[in-house]
Chains A and B, each alone.
Chain A
Amino acid sequence: MQYDHILIRYGEMSLKGKNRKHFVAKLYENVKSKLQSFPDIKIKRNRDRMYILLNGEDPQPVMDQIKDVFGIQSFSLAVKVNSTEEEINEGALFALTKPENVKTFKVSVRRVDKQFPVSSQDMNRVIGGHLLRNTEGYQVDVHQPDMEIMVEIRRDGTYITSEKVKGAGGLPVGTTGKSLLLLSGGIDSPVAGYLTMKRGVEIEAIHFHSPPYTSERSKQKVLELAQKLTRFGNKVRVHVVPFTKLQQSLYRQVPEHYGMTVMRRLMMRISERVADREGILSFTTGESLGQVASQTMESMNVINEVTNYPIIRPLISMDKLDIIELSKQIDTYEISIRPYEDCCTVFVPSQPKTRPTREKVNEVEAKVDFTQELEETLENIETLEFSEEHSEKENEFSDLL
């Protein structure tokens, strides 16, 4: 006998009444795309479970992939047997004896198919007895077992699963709309993107690039971060905004200590135009309260004035150390800490206004007109699309390597 299935339990989407069907379909799509490098597996789904038929595929690499899919509460390796007492006993014995380091166990039977003649309670005893009779050194412990053997008797067969592995949780990406992530290249914004995706949101990113003030490398860094995020959402588009001209005229015309606030407001205005064009209904930022000058309550108030789009700020109340921890977990940290200038750091004034007011900034802005540069900028946005690498992807250096 060998594990032939992976059983996937849905997360809180199980609760979402009418939308359930849509959620399951999306999760199915996401799992399927995640596992496309395993041609032999098959995925089956029903209202409250998904099953991956391994067809001889090694389970471990498949499980490693599934761990990153949002909308999965937990999953387990499973054997499927026919719903007869004999086969169920045999399957449970396999599930118990296969892993090492298990000494105590507990059997939990769920009889979904009420046609099955033996009740759950009785089945618990039948299986438990069979296991004890046919093994040595194992004991039952209903409170803190090393392993809970779960037996689900369903109409199409009985699924016997061992160890429950925790899934990524959250909701399937693509079920709760799209958000435009302001991706700077720092540590915070990719984490913000990740957390937003966790709530089922599909992410497109916008990045402001100011050559020659910012280098090719800093753009490259952002593109690599977007690539990393595809691990959780299959596809991520990046809108690269050529920001140089705007930034130059801004710094010529706006008093130095208001420069940053006005720049942020410009970024919001551009983002809104891009969102409007792409049918995106919200923004996501990596802002965390109090971190830097632009993230004071006053700054946020003033910057936010230019848009009434919802702004998702998943990091707003998080400590920096926790954010760093997450960025390491999602493998973006090493990229984020590469020391290249981004458009926010190049023009940082020596004394930025940490407490700007709406009134004052509007006064400053009334004296300048960036319309022409803004339109020009919008016309020259470059959009790139990234999708998850499932194998050694062709890259620009393929011929050399």
Chain B
Amino acid sequence: MIYFDNSATTKPYPEVLQSFHQVAETYYGNPSSIHRFGSDSERLLNQSKKQAAQLLSIDPEEIIFTSGGTEGNNLAIKGIALQHQNRGKHIITSSIEHPSVLEACKALEGLGFEVTYLPVNEQGIIDISDLEKSIREDTILISVMHVNNELGSIQPIQQIGKIANRYPKLYFHVDYVQGLGKVPLDFHKSKIDLCTMSSHKIHGLKGTGILFVKKNTSLFPLMHGGSQETSYRAGTENLPGIVSMVKALRMTLEYQRSHLSSLKKMHEKIRRSLEEINGVVVNTPENSAPHILNFSMPGFKPEVVIHALGEHGVFISTKSACSSKDADESAILKACGADHERASSALRVSLSYFNTDEEVDTFLSTFRTVIDQLSEVMG
């Protein structure tokens, strides 16, 4: 089997599963319990936070453990909006954000907030001067993703941060779920106040994530209850999940150091080979993230291609898994100015550090075969 759907989710590292099992079995004490058994869990929790902070070059107090990307984005956006609505009720985001950002913003519109959705160019990048022009007296939050989940395009986060930093009332949130472990991002240099990360995209397990919240930034919690996560996120900590996430983070950053160039090579090879195939339009712009490649097959129904590849044990996807159940058309490609044909025939290959050259070759030959077969009927 060839798994090329790593932007949807990744296969957990065996070491991560082992840690999960070990922690779930041994450290089931509640970190808040005062007995020694609880204190052992608490120490492990603190050590996990400390290590995560070291790996991300931030302070342990700046980490909130969450249940994943969707919660991180919701907590960042609603948390800032609700907490700081007295300062203003205007939010700026882009039109190609993940649904957990867009829908959170839409929900806030229902509560009387105003949201500006910045357009993107055909490369999927916002225009910095558009952003500057949209900032108003009552703008409290800019939320822009780093790597786009469907296209792989990378927003100019550092430039956005620089602008946001000029307005003391303004918070800057970045959805870093797709970029983590693939495209480095310096939170401090980029003047980021909040940053969402997710464990299962980096070979950890579902149900865990990190929200970076810069010191002295206050949020309105989504979950009220105990004082876990400095009261920003009540609920007994998912210690096995947290420990395995931090381990996955460490391992992924190690792979990033050692395997990034081979990932880039595979990516490049797929791009070049697909470009040679008649009828394929590559949507992912050059200089994008090294693991996502989006392309369209105008005239082909993407679902059919996916199923046909699936029969050969090759797994790729259409648009992001989170919106795959909607109609065929990709809102993101549409926002990039693609016509209906192209926007409704998009496919996405997303790689991990564990994919191999052989897999790339097999995928390419399988793909050609499948297209040949299908074009007799569809093309």
Contact = CB atoms under 8 A, between A and B. Distances in A.
Contact of B61 (A217, A334, A396, A400): A334
Interface residues of A, number: 11
Contacts, number: 34
B250 interface: yes
B47 A401 contact: yes
Interface string B21-45: 0110000000000101001001110
B54 A395 contact: no
A239 B136 CA distance: 60
A215 B42 CA distance: 13
A392 interface: yes
Secondary structure of the A contact surface, majority rule? loop
Contacts of A215: 34, 36, 39
A380 B111 CA distance: 64
B328 to A, nearest CB: 43
B211 to A, nearest CB: 20
Interface string A185-223: 000000000000000000000000000000111001000
Given A334-B61, A392-B51, A392-B54, A400 B39 contact: no
A104 B51 CA distance: 44
A401 B34 contact: no
A400 B43 contact: no
A217 B39 contact: yes
A401 B43 contact: no
Nearest to B60: A334
Interface residues of B, number: 18
Contact of A401 (B36, B42, B61, B247): B247
A401 B51 contact: yes
B42 A400 contact: no
A401 B48 contact: yes
Nearest to B52: A401
A335 to B, nearest CB: 10
B47 A395 contact: yes
A348 B23 CA distance: 38
A400 B24 CA distance: 11
B42 A397 contact: no
Contacts of B250: 401
A397 B44 contact: yes
B39 A216 contact: yes
Interface string B230-249: 00000000000001001100
A220 B61 contact: no
B164 to A, nearest CB: 21
Contact of B243 (A217, A220, A395, A400): A400
Contacts of A334: 61
A323 B54 CA distance: 28
Contacts of A400: 19, 22-23, 44, 243, 247
B246 A401 contact: yes
Contacts of A395: 47
Contacts of B54: 392
A396 B27 CA distance: 13
B73 to A, nearest CB: 26
**10 shortest interchain CB distances as A-B pairs:** A217-B39, A400-B19, A397-B47, A216-B36, A216-B39, A401-B51, A400-B243, A401-B247, A397-B44, A401-B246
Interface of A: 215-217, 220, 334, 392, 395-397, 400-401
Interface of B: 19, 22-23, 34, 36, 39, 42-44, 47-48, 51, 54, 61, 243, 246-247, 250
Given A397-B44, A401-B243, A401-B246, 5 more contacts: A217-B34, A392-B51, A392-B54, A396-B43, A400-B23
